[in-house]
Structure 1
Amino acid sequence: MKVVILCGGQGTRIRDVADNIPKPMIPIGNYPILWHIMKYYSLFGHKEFIICLGHQGKVIKEYFLNYQINTSDFTLQLGNKESIQFKNKSQESDWVITFAETGDKAMTGSRIRKIKKYIGDDSQFLLTYGDGLSDVDIDKLIAYHQSHHRILTLTGVRPAGRFGEIMCTDEGVVSEFNEKPQAAEGRINGGFFVCNKELFDYLPDNDDLVFEKEPMMHLVKDQQLMQFNHNGFWQPMDTYREFVLLNGLYENDNAPWKKW
C-alpha cells in the first residue's frame, strides 16, 4: 500500500531544536523523525510514500534529493560531477517517494484530499503524521481494517498525557470522537490509519478542512470509523522533553520502533 504522511503543518516549534526546520526533519540520531517513520513502514513492505508538503517543504525535498550523497561513501573527480562513484548501495534505494505540494496553510483534511490523484486505482492506503513513532504492528492493523469493511481505521493508544479521546463499542465501532476533551478517560488517536478510497467522499474542497473534526465526525455518524487498539509504544515529538526522550531511547539502543 502507498503510505501518505502529513508533513505540511506549521505546528509547534521545539525551541533550540526546530527553529529553522519543519518538525518532520527534527533528528533522532543521525536521521530525521520522518525517515524513522518511513523506515518503520518499509519493514512491513510498504515502500511507496506520498509526502504532503507545506510549511518549509523545500527542506524535506532537499534532504531526499541529496540522500545518497549524504549517507554514502563516494569518490568524486573534481570538475566532473558525473564522475561520482558510490561505494555502497543505500538500503533505502527501493523507496519511491512522491513529494506533493499541498499548500502552506492548508489543514490536514485538505492535504489528504489534494493527494487523491496519487493514490491512483488503489482501493486502500495508509496514512500517518510526520511527527510520531510507534511499534504498532502494521500487518495486524491492515488485517483488522480489511476484516470490518468500513472506510477508516485509526489506531487507539494510551499515552502518558492527555490529547483527545475515542469511545467505541465492544466490536470496535467508534461511537464518539473528541479530539481534545477537557477531562475524559480512554484511548486517543495515535494516527497510523488505514483508509479506503471512499474516504475522499468525506473531504470537501476546503483548505480549512481539519481531518480530525468534520470528516471524522461524519464517519462516526455513518458508523464508518473503527478503532484498532494498540497497547505498546507510541510517542509524538511535540516538546523538547520528548525530543530528548526519543533520542535517548535511540542512542541507548532501546527504541521500540527500531526493528532494523
Structure 2
Amino acid sequence: MKNVFLKENDTIKQALEIIDKGAMKIAFVVDNSNKLIGSVSDGDIRRALLNGKTLEDKIENIYNKNPLKAHISDDRKNIINLCLNKKIYQIPLVDDENRIVDIFELEEALRYIEYPNKVVLMVGGLGTRLRPLTEKTPKPMLKVGNKPILQTIVEQFRNYGFKNFIFCVNYKNEIIKDYFKDGKEFGVNIEYVLEEKRMGTAGALSLISKNKLNEPFFVMNGDILTNVNFENMMQFHLENNAIATMGVRNYSYTVPFGVVEMNSNLIIDIKEKPTQTYFVSAGIYVLNPETLSYIPYNEYYDIPELFKVLIKENKKTISFPIREYWLDIGRIEEYERANKEYERFFNV
C-alpha cells in the first residue's frame, strides 16, 4: 500500500509531497492508532493557498474530518459506483476498527479513464514578439525539448485522459495541420477551426458548433508550457459547480523604492522596497457550455471580458491556483529558458 498517511500536525508541504510523490489526488489523516480521522485532497490544498495559508501551515484546520470510506468487505461494484457518484478517484478501505487496510483506486479498477471533455487550444497567434523565430514557423510549433510546444501540450492532456481536441488556427495553419493531421498518430482526436481574422482568446469559440461543446471544456493558449494536473483542474471545476474556472498563478513584484504610507499628509510608515503579491491569469480555463451564449459571434473577444460579463451576471466564476511548472513562452528569453528547463520538468 502506498504511503499516503498524514498526522494532524503535519504541514501542507508534507501533504503536497505525499500527494505528488504517490501520484494520487488525496492523502489520509490518521491518529496515533492509525485509525482514519480525515483526508486532504489536492483541491483542499489549493483552496487553503488561495485563502492565505502557507506551505508551512499545519493541515489540522484544512483537512476533511468526514472522509468517504468503504469497508474492506464491501462489494467492488458498489465501491466503483460510490467513487463515480462522488467524483473521487481513491477511497480508503477500512476494517472494523476503522483502520485503513487498503486504498481502492478507481483508475486502476477501470484500467484507463477517457474523458469526453473537449480541449480547445488557441494556436492562431502571430507570435510577433518571438520574431525572427516565427517568421516561417507558427509559435506553437517552435521546438522545446526537440518537439513542438503544441505537441507537449497535447501529450500532457492525453496523459490525464483528455483526448478530444479542437485547434483554433490562423497564422501558417497548414504547418500545424500537416504535422498533427487528425491526431491519431498522437493517440488523440483533433478537429480544426479556421479563424479568418484575429479573434482574441475567446472569439473563436463562437465559430465552434455548440453540439461539439456539450460538456465542460478546457480553453488554453497554445504557447504555454506546463505540467499542471488537468484532471485535478476539471475535478475542481465540477466540485465547485462553477460556470467558469480560471487557472491562476502567483505573481510577485518588488517595488524598487521606499513606499511611504500616509494618513492625509502625515507619514505613518516607510516600507523599503516592499514585495506585492497578486494572482494573475495563467491562460488555462474550464468553461461550461452555457458560457458560449455570452460570446458575440465572429467578433474579436477575450476571455477576461467573458469573465467580467459572467461576474456581472452573478454567475459563479472561480480560480484554480496552479502550483506546478508553468511558463508562458511569449518572448525570446522565455523560449530559451523553456529549452533549458524542459528535461527537468517533463519526461523525455
**What's the TM-score, normalizing by structure 1?**
0.74
- Quote the offset at 1:160 in angstroms: 6.6
Corresponding residue number in structure 1 for 2:304 = 212
Aligned partner of residue 192 in structure 1, secondary structure: strand
What is the CA deviation profile of residues 36-59 of structure 1, one whole-angstrom value per residue up to 9, with x for unaligned ones? Answer: 111100000111110001122122
Query: Runs of 4+ in structure 1 displaced over 3 angstroms?
Result: 65-68, 159-162
User: Contact between 1:48 and 1:95, CA under 8 Å: does it hold in 2?
Assistant: yes
Corresponding residue number in structure 2 for 1:17 = 133
Whether 1:60 aligns to 2:176 is yes
What is the CA deviation profile of residues 47-78 of structure 1, one whole-angstrom value per residue up to 9, with x for unaligned ones? Answer: 1110001122122112223989xxxxxxxxxx
Corresponding residue number in structure 2 for 1:3 = 119
Corresponding residue number in structure 2 for 1:71 = none
Letter in 2 for 1:201: S
Aligned partner of residue 228 in structure 2, secondary structure: coil
Letter in 2 for 1:113: S
Identity across the alignment (%):
26
Structure 1 residue runs of 5 or longer lacking an equivalent are 69-89, 163-182
Corresponding residue number in structure 2 for 1:76 = none
- Quote the offset at 1:248 in angstroms: 1.2
The 1:37/1:248 distance shift into structure 2, 3 A limit, reads: same
Which is higher, the Rg of structure 1 or of structure 2?
Answer: 2
User: Contact between 1:52 and 1:102, CA under 8 Å: does it hold in 2?
Assistant: yes
2:338 to 246, 253, 257: 246
The 1:11/1:160 distance shift into structure 2, 3 A limit, reads: farther
Aligned partner of residue 168 in structure 2, secondary structure: strand
Let me know the Cα RMSD of the aligned residues.
Answer: 2.5
User: Contact between 2:252 and 2:278, CA under 8 Å: does it hold in 1?
Assistant: no
Aligned partner of residue 187 in structure 1, secondary structure: strand
Please give the residue correspondences for 1:1-260 in structure 2 after superposition, counting only pairs within 5 Å: 1-65=117-181, 92=186, 94-117=187-210, 119-120=212-213, 122-159=214-251, 185-213=277-305, 215-221=306-312, 222-250=314-342, 253-254=343-344, 256=345, 258-259=346-347
Aligned partner of residue 162 in structure 2, secondary structure: coil
Corresponding residue number in structure 2 for 1:80 = none
The 1:139/1:65 distance shift into structure 2, 3 A limit, reads: closer
**What's the TM-score, normalizing by structure 2?**
0.56
Higher relative contact order (CA 8 A, sep 6+): 1
User: Contact between 1:5 and 1:51, CA under 8 Å: does it hold in 2?
Assistant: yes
The 1:62/1:104 distance shift into structure 2, 3 A limit, reads: farther
- Quote the offset at 1:211 in angstroms: 2.3
The 1:63/1:244 distance shift into structure 2, 3 A limit, reads: same
Q: How many aligned residue pairs are there?
A: 211
Corresponding residue number in structure 2 for 1:78 = none
> 1 or 2, which has the higher strand percentage?
2
